[in-house]
Amino acid sequence: MCTSLATYMKRENVNDAQFAALVGIDRTLVNRLRRGKVKPTLKVAAEIEAKTGGGVPMQSWLAPSEAA
């Protein structure tokens, strides 16, 4: 499963450790989020949206049926 986080990180040439430091979360959590293995809490999703300037919106973590 490719999330918009993975797309963002690839486009910005940012690795897991760099993104983790930016957002203030653990590198292993970034790895699991990027691979679509887990979903972030609302707080983490909001922080990701803020730190990426909207590049990874909170809505990107919702399933298509949830986003409607």
The Cα–Cα gap between 55 and 30 comes to 15
In which domain, by residue range, is 50 found?
A: 4-67
Report the Cα–Cα distance between both ends of the chain, in Å, rounded. Answer: 20
* 9: confidence class by pLDDT, cuts 50, 70, 90: very high
Q: What is the pLDDT of residue 35?
A: 94
What are the tens digits of pLDDT across the range 17-68? 999 999 999 999 999 999 999 999 999 999 999 999 999 999 999 877 665 5
The Cα–Cα gap between 44 and 61 comes to 11
Q: What amino acid occupies position 52? A: T
Look at the chain and report how many structural domains it folds into: 1
pTM for the full predicted model: 0.88
Among 63, 51, 47, 44, which residue's Cα sits nearest to residue 3? Answer: 63
